[in-house]
Chain A
C-alpha cells in the first residue's frame, strides 16, 4: 500500500496521500513533514461523514469523489468501498493529471486491499 502511495506522491504537486477509513483511522499515509497525518485523517473523516450524511438524508445517493480547491492547496477524496484515498496537492497542481494518477492508484489499491469495517 505504501508503494502505491509513494508512486502517487511522485506526481507533480502532490504533497501527500493517505488511506483512511470513514471514522478517521489512518490505514496508510505518506505525507510531507509539514502536514500532520492525524489532523488530515480526522478532518477528512469529518468531511466525508458530513457529506455522506447529507447525501443520505436527502436521498441523493452515495459519495464517489470530492475535489476541493483552496487558497494554498487542493484536496481529492476518492471513495473505495469502505475506505477512502485522500490526496493533498499544492495550489499549482494540474487537476487532470493528478486525478488520473489518483484513479490509477485507486485501481491498484482496490486490487491489493480489502478493509473490513
Chain B
C-alpha cells in the first residue's frame, strides 16, 4: 500500500471511529468493525466490537462480529503456538495451546492437545488437571461411566505425582460427592480442610455430606449406576449454592444497614449494592437510571474483563478518581458494592467497609439455607 493510500485509509478509519463515538449505534460499530475485518486487522475489530457491545450488549450483529473477531484472533494464536511447539515443544506451550482451545470451545482439540502433551511430559500435573477439567465437562454432560473412570484415573494420577495437589483433591471431592461416593468425597474434603483449603465450597460440601451414610458401593459401581439412571446422585455445587443464596429479608436489611453506615462516613455521597440487575441504594440517588449506577456496572464489568485478560486474575476492588471525586468499587462475582465520595476523601477505610459489605452479604446468602 503506498503512502497516499495509507493516508486516505487512516483518514477514513478515523472518520468512522469518530462517527461511531459521536453517533453510537450497532450499525456504526458494525460498519467500522467490517472495515477492520476487510483490512485483516483483527485486534482492532475485536476492540470495536467490545466497545460496541458495552453500549449495545444485546445487539446480535455486534455479537456476531465479536465472535468472529475473537475466533480469528484465537485461530491466529493457535497457529503461532503450533509453530512454536513444532520447533521446541514444552509443557507450557501445550498448556497455552490447550487454553486457547478452551476459549474457542473446541473440546476435542483441547483434549487432544493435553493427551499429546502428556505423551511428551507424562508427569506434568498442570496438564493432567486441564485434561481432567475438560473430561469432567464431558462426563457431566454425557454421564458415561467410561468418561468418569478416565476422569478419576487422571485425577488420582495427579495425586500420585503430587500428593498435596489441592485442585485435584477438590475435583475428586466434587466428583465423588456427585456420584454418591460419600466416603471418598469425605476423605478428600477432610484433606482439603486439614491443608488450609477450607473455603466456602469445601465447607458447603462438608455440610452437605454431614450425616449422609457411607455408600457400600465403590466408585466404579456408582459410575455404572449413574449411567444406567441417567442422572447424578447429588446436585452440583452451583445448584446447592443457588438454592442457599436466596437472600432473605434479614439479609437485605443487613445490606441496607451496611449501606447506611457507609453513607455516614465522611465525604460519602452515594452508596449502592448491586447484584445482577438489582440494586439497593442509599444517598443522593434519584432513580435506577442514576449515572452512578450505570458507571459502577460498566466499570465493574470492564475491569473484570480487562484484569482477567491481562492475567491479573479476578478484579476485586478499584478506585476511579476524577473531577467528580472518587468512585470506589468492590466486586465479587456478580455482586458489586460502590460509593461515590467527594474529592480528598480518604478511600482506604471506605474500601475496607465495601469489602466487608460484599463479603458479609455473600456469607449471609450462603449460610441461610443451613
Query: A-side interface residues toward B, CB under 8 Å?
Result: 23-24, 34-35, 38-40, 42-47, 49-51, 53-55, 57-75, 88
Given contacts A58-B295, A70-B314, contact A51 B43 (CB under 8 A): no
Measured CB to CB, the nearest residue on chain B to A49 is B51
Contacting residue for A39 out of B51, B291, B309, CB 8 A: B309
Contacting residue for A71 out of B295, B303, B316, CB 8 A: B316
Please indicate the chain B residues that have their CB under 8 angstroms from the CB of A57 in the complex. Answer: 291, 294
In Å, the complex CA distance between A2 and B34 comes to 35
Please indicate the chain A residues that have their CB under 8 angstroms from the CB of B29 in the complex. Answer: none
Which of B133-141, B189-197, B272-280, B321-329 sits within the interface? Answer: B321-329
- 13 residue pairs of the A-B complex, CB under 8 angstroms, read A35-B311, A42-B46, A54-B294, A54-B299, A55-B295, A64-B321, A64-B323, A68-B318, A70-B314, A71-B313, A73-B307, A75-B306, A75-B312
The answer to the question of B302 belonging to the interface, with a C-beta cut-off of 8 Å to chain A, is yes
The answer to the question of B260 belonging to the interface, with a C-beta cut-off of 8 Å to chain A, is no
Interface of A is mostly: mixed
In Å, the complex CA distance between A80 and B322 comes to 12
Given contacts A72-B312, A72-B313, contact A44 B322 (CB under 8 A): no
Contacting residue for A35 out of B47, B310, B314, CB 8 A: B310
- Asked whether A61 lies within 8 Å of B47 as measured between CB atoms, the reply is no
Measured CB to CB, the nearest residue on chain A to B51 is A49
- Asked whether B318 lies within 8 Å of A62 as measured between CB atoms, the reply is no
In Å, the complex CA distance between A45 and B47 comes to 9
In the complex, what's the smallest C-beta–C-beta distance from A7 to chain B, in angstroms?
Answer: 23
- Asked whether A55 lies within 8 Å of B324 as measured between CB atoms, the reply is yes
Contacting residue for B307 out of A51, A54, A63, A75, CB 8 A: A75
The answer to the question of B298 belonging to the interface, with a C-beta cut-off of 8 Å to chain A, is yes
In Å, the complex CA distance between A66 and B55 comes to 21
With A58-B294, A72-B312 already in contact, 7 other A-B pairs whose C-beta atoms are closer than 8 Å: A50-B298, A51-B295, A64-B321, A66-B320, A68-B312, A69-B317, A74-B312
Measured CB to CB, the nearest residue on chain B to A23 is B17
Query: B-side interface residues toward A, CB under 8 Å?
Result: 17, 43, 46-47, 50-51, 54-55, 290-292, 294-295, 298-299, 302-303, 305-324
In the complex, what's the smallest C-beta–C-beta distance from A23 to chain B, in angstroms?
Answer: 7
- Asked whether B318 lies within 8 Å of A66 as measured between CB atoms, the reply is yes
Count of chain A to chain B residue pairs whose CB atoms are closer than 8 Å in the complex: 122
Please indicate the chain A residues that have their CB under 8 angstroms from the CB of B319 in the complex. Answer: 65-67
Please indicate the chain B residues that have their CB under 8 angstroms from the CB of A46 in the complex. Answer: 47, 50-51, 302, 305-306
- Asked whether A70 lies within 8 Å of B43 as measured between CB atoms, the reply is no
Measured CB to CB, the nearest residue on chain A to B351 is A69
- Asked whether B313 lies within 8 Å of A51 as measured between CB atoms, the reply is no
- Asked whether A43 lies within 8 Å of B313 as measured between CB atoms, the reply is no
Contacting residue for B313 out of A38, A47, A54, A73, CB 8 A: A73
Contacting residue for B47 out of A24, A59, A67, A70, CB 8 A: A24
In Å, the complex CA distance between A84 and B296 comes to 21
Among A39, A40, A46, A70, find the residue whose CB has the most chain B CB atoms closer than 10 A. A70
Measured CB to CB, the nearest residue on chain A to B296 is A54
Please indicate the chain A residues that have their CB under 8 angstroms from the CB of B322 in the complex. Answer: 55, 60-65
Measured CB to CB, the nearest residue on chain A to B329 is A68
Please indicate the chain A residues that have their CB under 8 angstroms from the CB of B316 in the complex. Answer: 69-71
Contacting residue for A47 out of B46, B55, B303, B323, CB 8 A: B303
Please indicate the chain B residues that have their CB under 8 angstroms from the CB of A75 in the complex. Answer: 306-307, 310, 312
Please indicate the chain A residues that have their CB under 8 angstroms from the CB of B323 in the complex. Answer: 60-62, 64
In Å, the complex CA distance between A72 and B107 comes to 27
Measured CB to CB, the nearest residue on chain A to B299 is A51
In the complex, what's the smallest C-beta–C-beta distance from A34 to chain B, in angstroms?
Answer: 8
- Asked whether B51 lies within 8 Å of A65 as measured between CB atoms, the reply is no
- Asked whether A58 lies within 8 Å of B17 as measured between CB atoms, the reply is no
In Å, the complex CA distance between A45 and B295 comes to 17
In Å, the complex CA distance between A73 and B316 comes to 10
Contacting residue for B318 out of A23, A44, A69, A88, CB 8 A: A69
In Å, the complex CA distance between A46 and B50 comes to 8
